Structure 1
Amino acid sequence: MNSFNKRTAVRIALVSALLAALASPVAWLVTYKRTEDGTVWLALDESRRLLHHFGAITLSGMDADDKARKAADALAGGLFDIAEIYNQEGVKLAQAMTEEGKAIEEQLPSHVRPIYRAGFHERFRLEDKRWVLRVFVPLRGAADTDRITGYFEGVRVVPTWQREQMRANALSAALMVGFASLVCGTAIYPVVVRLSTDNERKAREILDSHLSMMEALGRAVAMRDSDTGAHNFRVAWIAARIGERLGLRDRAMQSLIVGSFLHDVGKISIPDAILLKPGKLDAEESKIMHTHVAHGEEIVSGIGWLKDAHAVVAAHHEKWDGSGYPRKLSGEAIPLAARIFAVADVFDALSSKRPYKEPMSFETTMSILAADTGSHFDPHVMAAFRAIAREVFNRLGQCNEEDVRRLLEERVRFHFGI
């Protein structure tokens, strides 16, 4: 199992466990409440049936007390341990209790004369930990359902077996919900892994095609500029090493690498007479040459995945003191990627062999860079590069174009996650 699959498995397991931990108590509470409500509604239905049977719904007339007493006696000892019946003024007409009801009566909270218009129930725990349900039922005559004719109040001590059954039902529901959460997580894992693998493969294919196009553009520029193409690989690799030293990661590092590789892409639009002129350019020719920056911006801005190269392409000729072009930016107004590239570009130009020059020594190259630090180069970037400059010089001195291509490919695959 690779690292991604392990992370996915751990995350799905954690989410499944969290869902089970959250959903199970909720399922327990909901099931327990429903079971309790079922008990209450059963008691209410039974009480209404018996009250109707004994004619204790309409509590008026000379025999109202007798009807109420008979109904209370029937209700006590059945579903209720205490049964009380009141008339419509809230005066108690009858009360009946079982032995258990007598034992708990003093522990029940007292209440005012009944005046409620809708039925409800309460539940509370006795001193001996037993649960008690207390129901309150307004009585209405069949002919006039809106007029209250009396009240029934019943108390039921929930027996141990019923409490255990309620808890068992609630626990079963909680366990089922928790188990379902874990099973869903287990079922989802292979689907997520497969989709992620497919997405990763497609992303690699797309990225490989993008990098191939990037390399083709870089080679096209290098061929027009009488270079071997190794320059683009070297400066992109050097810039990546400096960026790593400065702590760049992810998108910032990707932008630095692509921008460094395509820094001169705008030279494609420069006429050969100027681009390949062996001597020094005159003022008008220099002006045209400088337009390669604007042309490069247009090229990378028109291709979505290359837009991250814009910072280097647009500002790779700016200088720390503001004397560069095309916008004469200075200091930290110059994008960091462009400031990093400036050091990498000049270092490579001085220390590598070109068709028109021999390479300079490490000491001479670094002395020139040091002299231009604070005017051309960002001192902070130079400080980071100075720590790795000797290693970079020695490594590149042993590489041909194919070797440096592999060096850059290694950093590309690392920072692009291929």
Structure 2
Amino acid sequence: MKFKYLFLFLVLIFTVSCDNNDNADYEWVQVATPQIMSKDAFRSSVNIKEPRNIEKAGKIYVYKDYIFVSDINKGVHIIDNSNPRLPKAIKYIEILGNEDVSVKDDFLYVDSATDLLVFDISDISTVSLVERLEDVFTVYNYNIPVEAEAIDYNKVDFEEEIIVGWTVVTERRKKIDERFVDIFAVDNVSSNSNESITGVGGSLARFQIVDNYLYTVGSYQMSIFNIQNLKEPVLANTQYAGWNIETMFQADNYLYLGSTNGMYIYNLVNPSLPEFVSEFAHWEGCDPVVVDGDYAYLTLRGGNACGQLESILEVIDIRDKSNPILKKRYELDNPYGLGVKGNTLFVCDGTSGLKLFNKEDPLDISLIKSFKNVNSKDVIPLENTLLMIGDNILYQYEYVANEVKPISSYKL
């Protein structure tokens, strides 16, 4: 009997030992699996609908008396803002895979995953799709859930299918040195003319129209479209733009790309082929950028998936475009988008509200006002009014003497 118990004890020890070794090689991982749709069904899903509530507000864009608000990955809402005190939703365009918009002379350009769509909005009551350029974006924003630690692409046919959503589950997986899958390893396939009207986007935009060209940027690639024929844009060029690009701003014939690792500057001497000028590098962080005169202003948000710990505003001297220089840093709480009008810098500080800074001296800016009871994400300073979006609410303010006062708040 003693030998029997000894044998059982040894078996138990061996089993536990093996199990411990096994556990050392495995871990629990949050795995994101794509929800897919055939490209045919995807491209047939565009619909012009009556107004509806927004699920998750994204980018904002202003054209004439209209405000366009993206419903992340779902479509675009059109708001009549002819009376800023009483804005009114009038149309919803269902566009799967949409994030960005731009408008020129009554033609609306939007992304739809890998495609570029063009809508005629000359008669806002009868918006119509007039063009679709298929597979012009080599890589689009997959909207990967922030909690995902690994991605399962095994069942996706990128030639015939589109990713339209995600399912996240916890799985026990064997440890690997580089856990997160490189999502880009998959080879899936305002105007100067007085007669022309181009809209205005916020600092989180990835689309910019300059004269006869529409510039778009993905995570690492820029796509340039010739839009001289507004209803029939032509893909003029694609080129490497940088790494982890998130935003694009244009000023004085230059493009400024905000990435998680810094800012890239391109000139538009040859508008169909932007030329790289320089890169300003910083630690990793989410950072939209705006430019005013000799300085660029970047916000870096900390305590998030972007990687950095601090939340700050950086002031970059760009007088020499080939050698941008960091001149000043200011602490913030939770910054997102920003904008400039005159000597005022508007910063969306997330849950800490909208903050107004006097930037007459960019190296010594000072807080002049704060709207604390709002959740702010992005802002567009217009000639007579200021638009701000946050937490699915559109806020509007007016400039009164040296004050900025609320006009309205509209639940999207």
TM-score range, shorter chain: under 0.3
Task: Give the alignment's TM-score, normalised by structure 2.
Answer: 0.18
Instruction: Pick the structure with greater CA Rg.
Output: 1
More helix by share: 1
More strand by share: 2
